């Protein structure tokens, strides 16, 4: 299960992600992130409460990053938990996505 909350902060749309980004929830995650990109262009995904991410969840982040670049816009992945960080590292996505230790806003 995934919970998504959003707020505007210093010119960024912050999407806080809680729970699991897996095959069951990846479409909802992608839809929320893409809507945030459409709305503001600059999106920060706060992953401080994300417990698990599968390949389907990773795809949602990749698709959003591509959409943001095409706008032009920006997607920042922030505050990753250690377990999720390992998945990003193993997949090589830290070289593709903008990953930060803190929120950019």
Instruction: Please answer whether residues 95 and 63 qualify as being in contact, where contact means their C-beta atoms are separated by less than 8 angstroms.
Output: no
Answering whether pTM is above 0.75, one says yes
Give the CATH number, domain containing residue 18.
Answer: 3.30.750.24
Asked whether residue 53 is assigned to any structural domain, the reply reads: yes
**pLDDT band for position 105 (50/70/90)?**
low
For 6, the domain range is 2-79
Asked whether residue 84 is assigned to any structural domain, the reply reads: no
| Residue range 10-20: mean pLDDT, rounded | 95
> In this structure, what token pair is assigned to residue 77?
């992945």
Q: List, in sequence order, the alpha helices (H) in the chain.
A: 26-40, 55-70, 82-91
For the stretch 53-83, pLDDT in tens is 999 999 999 999 999 989 888 999 999 999 9
Burial 32-53 (b: 16+ CB within 10 A, else e): bbbebbeebbbbbbbbeebeeb
Count the domains in the chain: 1
Of all helices (H) and strands (E), which one includes residue 104?
A: none
């Amino acid at each position: 299960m995934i919970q998504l909350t959003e707020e505007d902060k210093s010119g960024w749309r912050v999407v806080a992600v809680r729970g699991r980004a897996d095959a069951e929830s990846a479409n909802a995650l992608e839809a929320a992130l893409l809507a945030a990109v459409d709305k503001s262009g600059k999106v920060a995904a706060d992953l401080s409460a994300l417990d698990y991410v599968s390949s389907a969840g990773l795809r949602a982040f990749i698709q959003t990053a591509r959409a943001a670049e095409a706008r032009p816009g920006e997607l920042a992945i922030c505050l990753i938990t250690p377990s999720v960080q390992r998945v990003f590292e193993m997949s090589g996505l830290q070289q593709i996505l903008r990953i930060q230790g803190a929120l950019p806003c």
